[in-house]
C-alpha cells in the first residue's frame, strides 16, 4: 500500500499515468501509452513495443527547515519497426516531452527537460532506444519524503 504522504511516489505515479494517455486519440503521434512501465525488471516481449519505462533514479535535496528536492527522472523509450525505427523514436520522444509538460501542469511542480540520447541497434530486426532526462522540483518538511 502506498502512503498518500509519499510525495515522491505521487510524482512517479502521476508521470506513469500521464504517459499511459499517449495515443493518437489523445492528440499524440504514437500509441506508446499502451506499454508504460515503472522500473521494468524483465526484457520486453515482442508485443510490448513501443514501450516507455520510467525510473526515479535520484533525489538531491538541500537540507533546511524545508527540503528542496530535485528528483531526477529517466524515461526510456524502446521501439522496433525496421525502416521506420528512427522516425518512431522521434515521435515517441516528442510524445513523452509533451506528456511531461502535462504532468508539470497537473502537479504544479517545476519540471525541466535535460536532454536525450538516441541509440540504434541492428540485430534480427532494428531496435531503437531513447533516454530522456527530466527533473521535478518539489518541497517537503524536513525528514519527510
Q: Domain holding 21: CATH number?
A: 3.30.70.1700
Q: 24-82 pLDDT, tens per residue? A: 999 999 999 999 999 999 999 989 999 999 999 999 988 888 889 999 999 999 998 77
Residue-range definition of the domain harbouring residue 127: 7-141
* CA dihedral angle for residue 27, residue 128, residue 19, residue 5, rounded to 10 degrees: -160
Residue 2 belongs to a domain: no
Which of these, 44, 54, 105, 112, lies nearest to 79 by C-alpha position? 44
Q: How many domains does the chain have?
A: 1
pTM for this predicted structure = 0.91
**Within-domain flag for 1:** no
Residue 93 lies in a domain: yes
Amino acid at each position: 500500500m502506498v502512503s498518500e504522504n509519499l510525495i515522491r511516489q505521487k510524482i512517479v505515479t502521476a508521470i506513469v499515468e500521464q504517459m499511459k494517455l499517449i495515443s493518437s486519440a489523445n492528440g499524440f503521434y504514437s500509441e506508446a501509452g499502451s506499454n508504460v512501465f515503472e522500473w521494468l525488471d524483465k526484457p520486453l516481449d515482442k508485443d510490448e513495443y513501443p514501450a516507455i519505462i520510467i525510473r526515479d533514479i535520484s533525489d538531491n535535496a538541500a537540507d533546511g527547515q524545508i527540503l528542496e528536492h530535485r528528483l531526477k527522472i529517466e524515461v526510456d523509450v524502446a521501439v522496433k519497426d525496421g525502416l521506420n525505427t528512427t522516425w518512431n523514436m522521434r515521435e515517441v520522444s516528442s510524445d513523452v516531452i509533451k506528456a511531461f509538460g502535462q504532468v508539470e501542469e497537473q502537479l504544479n511542480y517545476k519540471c525541466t527537460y535535460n536532454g536525450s540520447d538516441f541509440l540504434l541497434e541492428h540485430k534480427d530486426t532494428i531496435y531503437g532506444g531513447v533516454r530522456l532526462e527530466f527533473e521535478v522540483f518539489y518541497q517537503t518538511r524536513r525528514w519527510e519524503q
